[in-house]
Structure 1
């Protein structure tokens, strides 16, 4: 046991205790491993912390690890630590191109093994220091990319368990090229208005289990990535997400939009999604493919938040669209949705491209109840990011399918009013629909 108080930590909420925390971590790993303890009853203000092999960073119930107010307290990770705005000067909901590598991080580490972060204490990422413009529904950050709460690269045998993470102004748990990961029983409580405050982002990761978590955040709650700066780690594959409760002002569960490699062999089951702008979204804009994914036993409740957030309250959204000319989107195929109950302002939206059909998608035992909840118009669909404004105008449908083939619906029930279409299909081949009930 390595108690950080014995290494000089004050725990008064004012002193930068990063040096003491780091000294305890260094001693722990040097001596073969053990537990670095942040004891209860203290707030430990800190700059960047570097995790190392064989260390359990344990935050006791009643202890708070809080990110520093001072940006100079964070390690520079790239570009000599320079902080820059969007290159185009556009807000984050328009400028979506991000290679995945921030300039700084709070809790970070590289090429380590057998590491854990545990305990029932709290990690506070101190979002308020990053506030930019606020529309009342969407807070833009002061720069981009901002500081993630956790950025861990190439970790083997990583466990994150029981902790509460809160108030992050960027991706909260960003895992890059990690293998054999267990995330169990954590809480992520971010501001629903804060742009880019994703919950958990496995990026080029393998053999990941995310279970028993509660996440509420602006932007996506759990999102699989294959971002451009980390291509050497290959595919994102062998992922299980189960028994989670999720709230998001973007998508509760998403694959993409960063997708420079393949996503495959993914199971999502026994989850509850509520108060989300989208339920499940597979957004392919780069050359990575998605295949062999099963979503089962999920309840979804959606509502539209505002025009700034991507989406129009779709329960399920699958899109394969080129990000821009010269960048060809990958394929979506062999996807199954079964035992899904959806209640919200929009239905199921499937849209490929004229030279890139969505293939082999099966829906079984699906219940859709389309009910107006928000003050925002639901007047079509949103396919951002893409060339142009990404808006498809017109009436919404229980099921919208465009540029798809081998799509099967079996045991589908739709409850809607007369202003909503049942099905819209265009350029769809081999569409099979059986056992459908429509209530108006």
Structure 2
């Protein structure tokens, strides 16, 4: 065999080996066919509703056994509600946008089943298997279109009769093997990514940008979900950026557990990382690590208000910047907040869904074994840990916490926010670096407190405790805000 034939044979063998790998690289769904939504009738002029065409492409892809539904670049595809299906990769190409239809009349499916007062579903799906949403494009909830008048700190919420038409951007119920990555999601009118009863979820490298004035615009809500990994995300949200919960409407899905969050950057008018307040089951085995929180009303919050429990949670290697916002938003610039109070009785729009069926008041479960390590904060308020009784919050460890308390806004402080609860919602009290109220077995070690140059008269102690049992302080450094006038430690 001559050299030329031998070279040709080698080249053919190499091509046979590498073509499948190359095909997989250009089509991440494997060898499944691409289903371009334009081929199914999508126009992409930003005016005609393309939801029917998108749905046809998704249905065809799933029916054929799976593949990739492509939203091609260069256009804006206005769409009302549509449903994802199993074995589909929904691929929004770079410079392509899927934009929610601003017509409130097209949104009719409640995001919370029979509870119709908390928004609707835009992009949805139930009992999904092997679904991916990705592509470097943008999914835009068109949120401001659903708002009332703009105020200084928020938007007016429009009145409604039965169904609140504001759409949640993505709602998946009972999903298995869900992947969301390399995507921009923005401008939600209500919750943005709501995963209910999902198992084996990866959310990676998404940019989530909501208006900081839109109330209820949570970023990522994990509801009764398990085995979830969130990483490398940037989130701005008027409401909570990442929230773990167990809503009563979906109680059949059980606990929310085995969750990791890492390498994320967040900013919120409410709480950047929150556990609760809706929790009628168990939230446990959670690790949150290597994150930055800036310009938030509250940094980290465990806000237990229902009979469910919270346990075995680790927060580590986190930088927190917390500042005051108006009372429209829950939080009073607490960098860390751990509470367990029964939910307040209410006559609001969804009060009937907040308590166990047939009851008008509830109980609160315990918060135990929570660990905070290597956290640096600059804030207008201190850490608040409180409960209705000492057995409800127990086993909390603060290790290597470095706090600088510094007044940065003109809004009045000297308040801790305990809403929604059956105790005084806004508790007026001197601002201390650690404020502990009716809790037990608290350890503070290898931590330091300093005060900024701007010292309002309500700045006070390094630590204040009321009705606390089992408090251990090991190498807690710092003086009061006004040495010689008030003591550093005030225990009652």
Choose from 417, 421, 424 the match for 2:464.
424
Higher relative contact order (CA 8 A, sep 6+): 1
Choose from 418, 434, 439 the match for 2:474.
434
How many Å apart are 1:128 and its aligned residue?
Answer: 1.8
Are 2:67 and 1:34 aligned? yes
**Cα pair 2:111 2:171 within 8 Å, conserved:** no
Aligned counterpart, 2:125: 109
CA distance in structure 2 between the partners assigned to 1:60 and 1:276 by the alignment: 32
Are 2:372 and 1:337 aligned? yes
Aligned counterpart, 2:144: 128
Answer with 382-391 or 311-320: which moved more: 382-391
1:412/1:81 Cα in 2 relative to 1: closer, same or farther (>3 Å)? closer
How many Å apart are 1:380 and its aligned residue?
Answer: 1.9
How many Å apart are 1:71 and its aligned residue?
Answer: 2.1
How many Å apart are 1:353 and its aligned residue?
Answer: 1.1
Aligned counterpart, 1:358: 393
**Cα pair 1:251 1:281 within 8 Å, conserved:** yes
How many Å apart are 1:130 and its aligned residue?
Answer: 1.6
1:105/1:345 Cα in 2 relative to 1: closer, same or farther (>3 Å)? same
Aligned counterpart, 1:147: 167
1:412/1:355 Cα in 2 relative to 1: closer, same or farther (>3 Å)? closer
Aligned counterpart, 1:90: none
How many Å apart are 1:72 and its aligned residue?
Answer: 2.7
**Deviation readout 1:287-324 (Å, 9 max, x if unpaired):** 00000000000000011111111111000000100103
How many Å apart are 1:62 and its aligned residue?
Answer: 0.1
CA distance in structure 2 between the partners assigned to 1:7 and 1:389 by the alignment: 57
Choose from 376, 397, 405 the match for 2:411.
376
Q: How does 1:66-81 map to 2 (within 5 A)?
A: 66-77=99-110
**Cα pair 1:168 1:197 within 8 Å, conserved:** yes
TM-score (norm 1): 0.93
Give the secondary-structure state (helix, strand or coil) at the position aligned to 2:478: strand
Unaligned runs of 5+ in 1: 85-101
How many Å apart are 1:49 and its aligned residue?
Answer: 1.3
Are 2:227 and 1:187 aligned? no
Choose from 255, 258, 276 the match for 2:296.
276
Larger Rg: 2
Count of residues in Structure 1 that have an aligned counterpart in Structure 2: 423
CA distance in structure 2 between the partners assigned to 1:292 and 1:184 by the alignment: 24
**Deviation readout 1:10-49 (Å, 9 max, x if unpaired):** 0111111001100000000000000000010010000011
**Cα pair 2:192 2:217 within 8 Å, conserved:** yes
Unaligned runs of 5+ in 2: 1-33, 346-360, 482-492
CA distance in structure 1 between the partners assigned to 2:123 and 2:318 by the alignment: 32
1:399/1:83 Cα in 2 relative to 1: closer, same or farther (>3 Å)? closer
1:206/1:365 Cα in 2 relative to 1: closer, same or farther (>3 Å)? same
Are 2:430 and 1:386 aligned? no
**Cα pair 1:81 1:104 within 8 Å, conserved:** no
1:145/1:5 Cα in 2 relative to 1: closer, same or farther (>3 Å)? closer
How many Å apart are 1:403 and its aligned residue?
Answer: 1.1
**Cα pair 1:320 1:356 within 8 Å, conserved:** no
Aligned counterpart, 1:93: none
Which structure shows the higher helix fraction? 2
How many Å apart are 1:394 and its aligned residue?
Answer: 2.0
Hey, which bits of structure 1, 4+ residues long, moved more than 6 A? 78-83
CA distance in structure 1 between the partners assigned to 2:315 and 2:440 by the alignment: 19
Q: How does 1:46-85 map to 2 (within 5 A)?
A: 46-77=79-110
Aligned counterpart, 1:157: 177
Q: How does 1:182-261 map to 2 (within 5 A)?
A: 182-261=202-281
CA distance in structure 2 between the partners assigned to 1:34 and 1:336 by the alignment: 43
CA distance in structure 2 between the partners assigned to 1:340 and 1:385 by the alignment: 27
**Cα pair 1:141 1:169 within 8 Å, conserved:** no
1:329/1:388 Cα in 2 relative to 1: closer, same or farther (>3 Å)? closer
How many Å apart are 1:179 and its aligned residue?
Answer: 0.4
**Cα pair 1:278 1:312 within 8 Å, conserved:** yes
CA distance in structure 2 between the partners assigned to 1:384 and 1:78 by the alignment: 24
CA distance in structure 1 between the partners assigned to 2:476 and 2:110 by the alignment: 54
1:145/1:367 Cα in 2 relative to 1: closer, same or farther (>3 Å)? farther
Aligned counterpart, 1:91: none
**Aligned alpha-carbon RMSD (Å):** 1.8
